[in-house]
Amino acid sequence: MVQRHFSNSCEDWAAFHGWNNRFSLEFKISRKDHNIMKNNFASPPIMKEEVETAIKKMKHGKATGPDNISVELIEALEDFGIGKVTHLLNEIYDTGQIPTDLSKSIFIALPKKPGGTECELHRTISLMSHITKILLKIIMLRIRNKIKLEIAKEQCGFVEDKGTSNAIYILRTLIERALEVQKDVYLCFIDYTKAFDRVRHDEIITQLKQLNIDGKDLRIIKTMYWEQTAAMRIENKTSTFQDIKAVFSPQISSPSTQHHHDDDDDDDDDDDDDDDDK
């Protein structure tokens, strides 16, 4: 379980209410509904093997969400646990209805530097149900091939078999070649702010519909975005749960859908604030 201690000024109720007010403002949301009935609903049921694969991809020792069910507990129940989770996920997948407890997250603030007392000097992480993570991993694996085709080849972040080292190597090679021929190299640094907290859900759903994502997969993603709630926890104090506008960062479906959204914004020359971790 993740446990962090704040300085004295962050332990009193005044600090807690300050965080709670900031939380309400940062994640306040406004969006329209989306009709996804035109998308086909031909996806096959979720298989036990898909659940097992998703669980294997999850790291152990991670804090649980509000339901307090860990992936280790599911694994310990072996076939019985896998079977129960598979049945539950198929109920969700077929109906598009996600139990309230599975759509809740707890936000915890961690200091970026020791001794920081202001909200801006902390970053937030979200604790989500491990069962929800399993479902989202399965959805992501199912839609990944369609989304991968839309991600620019220059993209290195959140892309399989790519990373920062790839981008650094390309940049260094360009600079070395430019120096050889005495040419200037211009670098543009864009400091995105709170990317995953400011993604427009309407745009994500619209673009996924254009990719002809299966209706069941799209419905689950939409339901999670539209019905997700979160609360802020400071020490032993927890705020009330409220609707939020963030995506599941750095969870499962967000990186791929977010980068497809960013690529589309670039084409439209739309200036949007984005990129922080949570």
Q: What is the pLDDT of residue 254?
A: 46
Which regions of 195-246 does DSSP assign to beta strands (E)? 229-234, 237-238, 242-243
- CA diameter of the chain: 67
- Tokens 């998703």, residue? 54
Tokens of 81: 């646990």
Element (H, E) at 106: strand 104-111
Q: What is the pLDDT of residue 8?
A: 42
Print pLDDT tens along the chain (278 aa).
333 444 444 444 445 555 555 555 555 555 565 565 555 777 899 999 999 999 999 989 999 999 999 999 999 999 999 999 999 999 999 999 999 889 999 988 888 888 777 777 788 888 999 999 999 999 999 988 888 888 888 888 778 788 889 889 999 999 999 999 999 999 988 877 766 666 777 888 888 888 888 889 999 998 888 888 888 888 778 888 888 765 554 344 444 554 444 444 444 333 333 333 33
Q: What is the pLDDT of residue 94?
A: 93
CA distance 245 to 28: 6
12: exposed, middle or buried (Cβ count in 10 Å: 0-12, 13-18, 19+): middle
CA distances from 206 to 32, 213, 249, 260 (A): 11, 11, 19, 11
CA distance 183 to 185: 7
Q: What is the pLDDT of residue 48?
A: 96
CA distances from 36 to 40, 41, 89 (A): 9, 10, 20
Q: What is the pLDDT of residue 268?
A: 39
Cα within 13 Å of Cα(139), Cβ side: 31
List the domain boundaries for the chain: 8-267
CA distance 19 to 235: 12
CA distances from 185 to 130, 167, 216 (A): 46, 15, 47
Q: What is the pLDDT of residue 36?
A: 56
pTM value surpassing 0.85: no
Cβ atoms of 60 and 182 closer than 8 Å: no
Element (H, E) at 123: strand 122-128
CA distance 93 to 263: 29
110 DSSP 8-state letter: E
Cβ atoms of 126 and 230 closer than 8 Å: yes
Tokens of 183: 């040419």
Whether the upstream peptide bond of residue 66 has omega within 30° of 0, thus cis, is no
